[in-house]
Amino acid sequence: MEKTRGKNPKQVTWVLLLKAHRAVGRVAWIATLFWDLLGTIKRRLIFRQDVVMATEKLGKGKLLFAAIKAFLLTSLAILSFEVVAYFNGWHCFQNPSLHIPSDDDIQGLLHLVYVTWLPFRADYIAPLIQALSKFCVALFLVQSADRFMLSLGCFWIKYKKIKPRIEGDPFESGDVEGCSYEYPMVLVQIPMCNEREVYEQSISAVCQLDWPKDRLLIQVLDDSNDESIRYLIKAEVATWSQRGINIIYRHRLERTGYKAGNLKSAMSCEYVKAYEFVAIFDADFQPSPKFLKQTVPHFKDNPELGLVQARWAFVNKDENLLTRLQNINLCFHFEVEQQVNGVFLNFFGFNGTAGVWRIKALEESGGWLERTTVEDMDIAIRAHLNGWKFIFLNDVKVLCEVPESYEAYRKQQHRWHSGPMQLFRLCLPAILTSKIAIWKKANLILLFFLLRKLILPFYSFTLFCIVLPLTLFVPEAELPVWVICYVPVFMSFLNILPSPKSFPFIVPYLLFENTMSVTKFNAMVSGLFQLGSSNEWVVTKKAGRSSESDLVAATERESKITNQQHIPGGASQSEFTEYNELKEQKEAAPIRIKKVNKIYRKELTLAFLLLAASVRSLLSAQGVHFYFLLFQGVTFLLVGLDLIGEQMS
């Protein structure tokens, strides 16, 4: 009364008008944002009619989308009841006992339906959700304990400075050609398929490996079905062959078995018998010249060693938000999972590239098989069952790329999570009947396959995308805050430790991992139950990026080689003509098409589901639940609209 005594009605009117103006401005901003969102969705839908969607290729994956859509519609219907009940004051959201009105308190048909719904929800729906949530929380805690133990193992390795070492100097003489008898015969394979963007830099990097030329053979295994790309790769191989490099171009007429079939075909060549080791590099990998000298010596005086695996390093890890989040996951995979398993178990999953195999180990383990899309994991499991040991070199890094678009990353993750489940079905009898120790069998079945390949995507999708929204509509089955907030943040903190520069992205990383659980769960189910998409192999699209320092170094090395090498004078006129035609094909390469954003229905549907659940949590005054669901829903929205891979400064 004292404060308002000196104000006249005109001043009060102006204050009210100012507040009304601010409120209208906020409403207009929200309406504009919503209108822009609808426009974006419309543009994505228009673009989709000319683009083959990944979701349409998954076949039975549409069943998951239908289930999520039905779940969304049901949740929206329940939410409408909750909103009406909230504004009519039919019950207090803060009261966990949920007062049920008597017949005299019924205010209408809608109120009657809502009153009928409350006991049904408490007696039949809540117990099921509670049981499912407890099961998922138990799996979540087991998987978190596994991550924590791996992190402790990594800290111990760092503290004790444990790493594989080479005894002495295997290359004492500085004259490489003069002491070539000390160097074993090494075969290098570069499998590729329609790799227009990256073939040149990978072939260039491999051809500059520091190894005696008479002890090294390079196989370019081209499975391209595009004739123009084959011409380009042939031209690059011819260029390096004329510079004195021992390099061979191979192309299969029948592309069966994908990468495994390509490698199997190359290993069947008669001249391979003269070689002791084989190094494998995918088309986007660029090994340093010292790679073979850093890896092959580990095999010396170690006849039980079958594989030496190097670490990946990424030239485009800072390209956009998607590449930054992938870098966090892959750094944890190599720094923690691969290194710890290599040091304490002498076993880990072969990464398919940037590794050197003893050819004898490959042959005794059955060679490359075409039965799954994870041929690298398949051969690693069989070699482990045959008693071969593996070494992981965390300090030897090979440059490569991570997918820069969500579409490419999504297809890659689908293959990486469906293949292991398919392999688990095939390998389980062999694991049970093998002669390895029981604890090794338990590690393979319980940890390697079930916990890290099956349980992880199952509980991530079920707990954070299904159970959590349900608990907001069924308050009797509410999840504790530590499950939603504290434990996930702590585990994300452990995951980011191997890449400390990524700490500012801890929240987006946590939300994005929950978002990717949809794709991983779908892939896991398709691999486990042998659905159509489990055998699908899509080559991951690359951008062909190189670090600036590597480009400068490669240019200097190539200029030196060009000055020292020349085309042999004895070459025939037909060879020169073919070489010029290949160069013309290379120069006439088509311009790359600009990326077109798409729309992903499952992610977009889950976005609206989580946003609806956030509205319900706001009505019940649950702050932590509201913010988590809101941010998780926005993340699903960005991914569903294909905005997560946009360029950023």
Going along the chain from its start, the domains and CATH numbers come out as: 186-408 (3.90.550.10)
- Percentage of the chain modeled with pLDDT above 70: 73
Q: Which of the four pLDDT bands, split at 50, 70 and 90, describes residue 426?
A: very high
DSSP state, 222?
Answer: E
Short-list 614, 594, 608, 613, CA closest to 641:
608
- Indicate if the pLDDT at residue 216 is higher than 90: yes
What pLDDT shows up at residue 89?
62
- Indicate if the pLDDT at residue 85 is higher than 70: no
Structure tokens given for 258: 């994908």
Report the catalytic residues. 223, 376
Q: What is the CA radius of gyration of the chain?
A: 30
Structure tokens given for 485: 């907030």
What pLDDT shows up at residue 597?
62
- Indicate if the pLDDT at residue 645 is higher than 90: no
Report the range out of 146-150, 409-413, 505-509 with the highest average pLDDT: 146-150
Short-list 464, 578, 436, CA closest to 521:
464
Short-list 416, 457, 531, CA closest to 58:
531
Q: Which of the four pLDDT bands, split at 50, 70 and 90, describes residue 397?
A: very high
What pLDDT shows up at residue 125?
86
Torsion angle of C-alpha atoms 181, 182, 185, 186, degrees rounded to 10: -140
- Indicate if the pLDDT at residue 180 is higher than 60: no
- Indicate if the pLDDT at residue 86 is higher than 90: no
More confident residue, 268 or 606: 268
Burial 293-305 (b: 16+ CB within 10 A, else e): bbbbbbbeeeeeb
Q: Which of the four pLDDT bands, split at 50, 70 and 90, describes residue 567?
A: very low
Cα(535)–Cα(545) distance, integer angstroms: 29
Residues whose CB is less than 8 angstroms from the CB of residue 57 and which lie 6 or more positions away in sequence, other chains included: 533, 536
Q: Dump pLDDT digits (tens) for 588-643.
A: 544 444 455 677 877 877 787 777 777 766 666 566 677 777 778 888 878 887 77
What pLDDT shows up at residue 648?
46
What pLDDT shows up at residue 256?
85
